[in-house]
A and B are shown apart, each in its own frame.
Chain A
């Protein structure tokens, strides 16, 4: 069974550029969440989507946006990249959103901004 798949696995961008990260959830899962993990820290919540609608947003600037498609896959977009955006971006898949719902993570996309 395929787990959560993210692409690309690694990415190098320059300051000011834009980037799009992709995520395919586990088959049957309808909710996707995005997290940013800076080196030495735990993951920080960015967005959650369920049934193509945004259900939650963390404390990130408007440069960060996301969307979910009819097949439940998702994209995270970051505009006007800053050096501080360098991090591991994680996608988490769950069947439905909820406080007792288990989340399963992909391997992440390592973004380096130079």
Chain B
């Protein structure tokens, strides 16, 4: 059972455009993490959000945790080819030991 639904599944944009990736669930999460993964590599942690309504910025990336802690979004401003990759959201529930991942959003930024 996929607890986290990510959309869109695929996104192809040109350099300089803005984009938003969504991560939605009907379940409440204690925290939510965003990762970026390149082909053949492990996921690299970008950010962890813990508090409902929390907004975190990482250079051109803005992450938001929903007020009810059931959803999150990732917004990229002025995308660059180096942003290309698979973006994964992962939620931790009160049980603590497992991360529940979405299927990911595959982003391609062309020059």
Asked if B96 and A43 sit within 8 Å, CB to CB, the answer is no
Q: What's the Cα separation between A28 and B45 when bound, in Å? A: 18
Asked if B92 and A100 sit within 8 Å, CB to CB, the answer is yes
In the complex, number of A-B residue pairs with CB atoms less than 8 Å apart? 76
Chain A, residues 85-114, CB within 8 Å of chain B (1/0): the string is 000101010000111111111111010000
* Nearest CB in chain B: distance from A6 CB, A: 8
* Nearest CB in chain B: distance from A5 CB, A: 11
- CB proximity to A under 8 Å, residues B83-109: 88, 90, 92-104
Q: What's the Cα separation between A101 and B32 when bound, in Å? A: 10
Q: Is B48 an interface residue (CB 8 A)?
A: yes
Q: What's the Cα separation between A33 and B102 when bound, in Å? A: 17
Q: Which residues of A contact B (CB under 8 A)?
A: 4, 6, 33, 35, 40-45, 48, 55-56, 58, 88, 90, 92, 97-108, 110
Q: What's the Cα separation between A107 and B33 when bound, in Å? A: 18
Q: How many residues of B contact A (CB 8 A)?
A: 29
Asked if A33 and B98 sit within 8 Å, CB to CB, the answer is yes
Q: What's the Cα separation between A88 and B43 when bound, in Å? A: 11
Q: What's the Cα separation between A41 and B44 when bound, in Å? A: 16
Q: What's the Cα separation between A102 and B93 when bound, in Å? A: 13
Known contacts A41-B103, A42-B102; A99 and B94 CB within 8 A of each other: yes
Q: What's the Cα separation between A99 and B94 when bound, in Å? A: 6
Asked if B30 and A44 sit within 8 Å, CB to CB, the answer is no
Residue in A closest to B100 when the chains form the complex, CB atoms: A45
Q: What's the Cα separation between A110 and B104 when bound, in Å? A: 19
Other-chain residue from B31, B50, B88, B97 in contact with A42 (beta carbon distance below 8 A):
B88
Other-chain residue from A45, A55, A107, A110 in contact with B99 (beta carbon distance below 8 A):
A45
Known contacts A4-B42, A104-B45; A48 and B104 CB within 8 A of each other: no
Point out the residues of chain B lying under 8 angstroms from A92, CB to CB: 99
Q: What's the Cα separation between A98 and B94 when bound, in Å? A: 8
Q: Is B40 an interface residue (CB 8 A)?
A: yes
